[in-house]
């Protein structure tokens, strides 16, 4: 599974990455977490508000920090 966190590195982007990694760890899931910071890459993927999260290429949310419950659902738990 590939989890992509989109954002330039703001506090909410860091919070989203930290939360995603914590949820993966707590659920015992193995996944690659990648940060996407290039604005051209973000807009090409349809991300116009950050933070944003994509799971295996599918954009799940944009412009907010997701909840633990949402992340677990997206990660298949």
Residue 72 has pLDDT above 90, yes or no: yes
Task: Report all structural domains of the chain as residue ranges with CATH numbers, in order of start.
Answer: 2-74 (3.40.30.10)
Entry pTM:
0.93
**What is residue 60's three-state secondary structure?**
strand
What are 35-66's pLDDT values in tens digits? 999 999 999 999 999 999 999 999 999 999 99
Structure confidence at residue 76 (pLDDT)? 87
Query: CA 13, CA 19: separation in Å to the nearest integer?
Result: 10
**Given this model, what pLDDT does residue 26 score?**
94
pLDDT at 16: 97
20-35 as b/e, with b when 16 or more CB fall inside 10 Å? Answer: beebbeeeeeebeeeb
Note the pLDDT of residue 27: 94
Catalytic residues: 10, 13
Alpha carbons 62 and 5: distance in angstroms, whole number: 10
């Amino acid at each position: 599974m590939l989890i992509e966190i989109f954002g330039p590195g703001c506090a909410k982007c860091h919070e989203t990455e930290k939360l995603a990694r914590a949820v993966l760890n707590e659920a015992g899931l193995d996944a690659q977490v990648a940060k996407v910071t290039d604005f051209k890459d973000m807009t090409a993927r349809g991300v116009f508000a950050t933070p944003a999260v994509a799971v295996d290429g599918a954009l799940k949310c944009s412009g907010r920090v997701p909840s633990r419950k949402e992340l677990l659902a997206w990660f298949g738990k």
